[in-house]
Every structure is written in C-alpha cells, then in structure tokens.
Amino acid sequence: MSKDILITGYEPFGGDTTNPSLELAQALNGCRYKDYTFQFAKIPVNRHECISTMEKAINCFDPEIVICTGLAYGRASISIERVAINVADFPWPDSAGYLALNETIDAEGPAAYFSTLPIRNIMQSLHAEGVPAYISNSAGTYCCNLLMYGTLNYIAKHHLNIKAGMMHVPYTPDMIVGKDPFMPSMSLDTMIKAVKTAAVTAIESPEDKAIICGFAQ
C-alpha cells in the first residue's frame, strides 16, 4: 500500500508571476520513493485560508510526512526551519490585503512548535548532495510561520502520526532579472533535489542524534 509525502508550495504573490515553492511541489507530484508517493497542495498567501487549506490536504492525503515550502527572498541557501511561533505579525499585507499585526494564531495553542522532521540529518544530507543549506531558528512571522505553526498545531490536536516542518527556498535566477544585481538565487532543479532529499532523509533517518560536547550520541 502506497504511503504519501505531502509537499506544499505557495501561490505567487507580491507582484511575482511565479513562486519556486509551488513549482517544486508540482514537479515532485507523483514521484515515488520505495512505497511512498509525493503529493502536492497549493497554499494561498492568506491569513485566513492557508491553515484550513493545509488541513484539507492532510485529510485528503493522510500523509506520513509533510514538508511545507515557501519563498524567502534574500536567502542564498535552503533554510530548514527549526521552530514556528504562535504569532502572526505581517511585514506586508497578504494576497487579500489583510495585514495581521501582533495576532495570536491559536489562543489555546502553545507558544511554539518545533519541527518534527530530522532537521540536522536533513542538513547533512543536503550538504552531501552539494546543496547549500542551514538550520534556521526563525521562520519569521508571515505566512510561512503561520502555516508551519498551524500544521504542527493541527497534527498535535488530532494526535496524528505525521512528521512535519518547513523549508524556505531562495529566488530562482529568472526572478531577480532587473532587480538587485546582488540578490542571491538558486536553480529550481537544485530546490527540487533539496526537498526530495529532505523527504528521503525523513524516511530513512527519521530521528536526529543528540549532540553532546561535539559527539553524536
């Protein structure tokens, strides 16, 4: 019986006509690894719709692994997010024009959720594949943090056996043409490889080893 890996990506926003997070999710759709099948869901950049869209996707696919992806302009590497906080504080309005300011995502939820993906194992796997990546300790306070928090919150509240987390990707080269000439970018193929590698790592090495005084335990 096939098991599912859910990859999500955001719709284009902020004047961009493409979003690499959505493109990579669509590219992986239908791919297989052993008895796992990649599925994708398109997430709106919308304060009041992105979490409910994710909940519907989880109910539809019943995945074992969820990797949310989002665009982080100005970053040169794949960012593997460690934590999502219970705050929506938007630096700019969402696609519906809504500007969340210092809002609590869930009044009954905890202050934060940590990724349940093996983030250090994923980083090491990406480095082995020649993909620049690092562990980020802040997913921001915009829709990516909102989605990561909402996903982990839904999983926790419904006692689901799903590993989940967030990865941020840079611009693709075509997106920076005519913009800041020093803006970093990454090819879509590299991003696809990164997210697929992350999913495989979550399957094959699902638990990070504790690091004590520089030694893996």
| Residue 81 annotated to the active site | yes
Catalytic residue among 60, 144, 204, 207: 144
Say if residues 144 and 115 touch (Cβ distance below 8 Å). no
| Residue 127 annotated to the active site | no
The span from the CA of 39 to the CA of 5, in Å, is 6
For the entire predicted model, the pTM comes to: 0.95
Catalytic residue among 168, 204, 207, 213: 168
Tens-digit pLDDT profile for residues 27-72: 999 999 999 999 999 999 999 999 999 999 999 999 999 999 999 9
Tens-digit pLDDT profile for residues 137-182: 999 999 999 999 999 999 999 999 999 999 999 999 999 998 888 9
Q: What is the CATH number of domain 3-216?
A: 3.40.630.20
Q: How far is CA 136 from CA 44, 61, 101, 204, 208, in A?
A: 23, 28, 23, 22, 16
Kindly list the domain boundaries of the chain, sorted by start residue.
Answer: 3-216
Taking alpha carbons only, the member of 113, 205, 106 closest to residue 166 is: 113
Catalytic residue among 23, 50, 64, 81: 81
The span from the CA of 39 to the CA of 193, in Å, is 15
| Residue 144 annotated to the active site | yes
